[in-house]
A and B are shown apart, each in its own frame.
Chain A
Amino acid sequence: EEQLVQSGAELTKPGESLKISCKASGYSFTSYWIGWVRQMPGKGLEWMGVIYPSNSDTKYSPSFQGQVTISADKSITTAYLQWSSLKASDTAIYYCTKGGSGYYYWFDSWGQGTLVTVSS
Chain B
Amino acid sequence: QSALTQPASVSGSPGHSINISCTGTNNDVGGYNLVSWYQQNPGKTPKLIIYEGNKRPSGVSNRFSGSRSGNTASLTISGLQAEDEGDYYCSAYAGSSTVIFGGGTKLTVL
Contact = CB atoms under 8 A, between A and B. Distances in A.
Interface residues of A, number: 22
A47 B91 contact: yes
Contacts of A112: 45
Interface stretch (B15-23, B76-84, B92-100): B92-100
A106 interface: yes
A46 B1 contact: no
A44 B97 contact: no
B101 A47 contact: yes
Contact of A59 (B34, B38, B40, B98): B98
Interface in A62-120: 62-63, 95, 100-101, 104-108, 110-113
Interface residues of B, number: 25
B74 interface: no
Contacts of B45: 95, 110-113
B47 A110 contact: yes
Given A105-B93, A111-B45, A62 B101 contact: no
| A-side interface mostly | mixed
Nearest to B93: A105
B102 A44 contact: yes
B51 A106 contact: yes
A110 B46 contact: yes
B36 interface: yes
Contacts of B36: 105-107
Contacts of A61: 1, 98-100
10 contacts: A44-B3, A44-B87, A47-B99, A60-B98, A61-B99, A61-B100, A62-B1, A100-B48, A105-B34, A111-B45
Given A44-B87, A107-B38, 14 more contacts: A37-B46, A44-B102, A45-B40, A45-B89, A100-B48, A100-B51, A100-B57, A104-B99, A105-B36, A105-B51, A105-B93, A108-B48, A108-B57, A112-B45
